[in-house]
Structure 1
Amino acid sequence: MDVVGLLEAASLLVPEGTATENDITVNDVWDHLTHDEWEVALCLLEELGGGRPLPVTFWQSLATAAEQLRLETSAAWCHWRGYETRHGIIRAELTLTPVHESHRRTAFSGAGVLRPMWDIGGTTPTGEPDLCVAALWAESVPLMEPGGRATVRLAPLSPSRWGRITPGQVITMHEDRSVAGTAVVLDVRRPPEP
């Protein structure tokens, strides 16, 4: 399917009456599609997807359209949102350890590239922390600097191991044995029942 067909298919999955904070609706998307403004239409659909949950096929269509338009970050974000649709959403306020207290000396991409380990409270049979891997997407921050702070979204590699996470819980991020950051869980939304 071509870009226009993918964006049209995605727009049909947005419930009637859905609007963003800026009163953008699916009608605005259609207006941009008729003027061949595909990137704008894609961005508007991403915004419309930020409100109520939309099906995985919505995010798959947007990801494929973004890939065809060679918009790598947008494609990665749409794939991320599709993952969240299937597995749930975990948002947290993350504060990274300052450079003088950490092994990390450089910034890293906030766009879902880093897959650190997390101490979420579990222990191994020997009493050691049972670390779980989760990718990290920083909201509104392209790069995470040592000592920096941002609201992040976590995509656990094994979502079932994160079933006891609750808002207000403090979890720690690890890139090695030392603590690389501390996060306070803000929001946990479980996936819909199959």
Structure 2
Amino acid sequence: MNVPKLLEAATLLVPEEIATEKDITVRDVWEYLREDEWDTPLGLLEELGDIEPLPVSFWEILATAAEQMRLDRSAAWCHWCSYETRNGIIRADLTLRPASEAQRQTSFDGAGVLRPMWNIGNRTPSGEPGLNIARLWAEFIPFLEPGGRSSVRLAPLDPMKWQHLRPGHVITMHADRSVAGTAVILEIHRPQTPRGQ
């Protein structure tokens, strides 16, 4: 399917009454599509998708469109939102240890590439701290540097093991058994059923 058809299909999954803070609606997206613009409608649809839960298919369609447009970060974000629609949202305030105190000496891509281990309070059968894997998306910045701080979103490999967490809980990020950073849970939203499903 070509990009305009994908974007049109995505617009059909957005309720007409949803509007961004700047009063952008799906009607505005249609105007850009009539003008044969693709980047702007994609960005606007991503914004509209943040307002209320939309179906996984909405995010998958947008991811495919972004991939066809070779917008890698946008495609990664849409795949991320598809995951969050199915599994819920975990946001945290992460502070990394400085390079002088940590194994990591360089910055890393904040677009969901890194899959660190986390001590979230679980234990192994022998009573040792259990480390659980979750991908990390740094909000509002493309890269996170040693000693840096950012709000992040976490995508656990096994979401069931993370259900005990609540806002205010402190968890630690690990590259190995040593602590690479500390995060305070800001928000947890369980999966919500989008309208019409």
Q: Same fold (TM over 0.5)?
A: yes
> Which residue in the other structure is 1:153 paired with?
153
1:39 counterpart letter in structure 2: D
Distance 1:8 1:91 in 2: 31
8 Å CA contact retained: 2:53, 2:192: no
Identity of aligned residues (%): 65
Q: Deviations along 1:14-65, whole A, 9 cap, x unmatched?
A: 1121111121111111111001110111011001111111100100110000
> Which residue in the other structure is 1:75 paired with?
75
Distance 1:152 1:21 in 2: 22
Cα distance, 1:125 vs. partner? 2.1
Q: List alignment gaps of at least 5 residues for structure 1.
A: none
RMSD between superposed Cα atoms in Å = 1.1
Distance 2:146 2:97 in 1: 6
Distance 1:101 1:21 in 2: 42
Q: Deviations along 1:102-156, whole A, 9 cap, x unmatched?
A: 1110000000000000000011122211100000001101000001000100000
8 Å CA contact retained: 2:116, 2:135: yes
> Which residue in the other structure is 1:99 paired with?
99
Q: What is the TM-score normalised by the length of structure 2?
A: 0.96
Q: Secondary structure at the match of 2:129?
A: coil
> Which residue in the other structure is 1:57 paired with?
57
> Which residue in the other structure is 1:181 paired with?
181
Q: Secondary structure at the match of 1:154?
A: strand
- Spell out structure 1 runs of 4+ moving beyond 3 A: none
Alignment of 1:1-194 (within 5 A): 1-192=1-192
Q: What is the TM-score normalised by the length of structure 1?
A: 0.97
Q: Secondary structure at the match of 1:131?
A: strand
User: Would you say how many aligned residue pairs link Structure 1 and Structure 2?
Assistant: 194
Distance 2:177 2:130 in 1: 12
Q: List alignment gaps of at least 5 residues for structure 2.
A: none
Q: Secondary structure at the match of 1:172?
A: strand
Cα distance, 1:192 vs. partner? 3.2
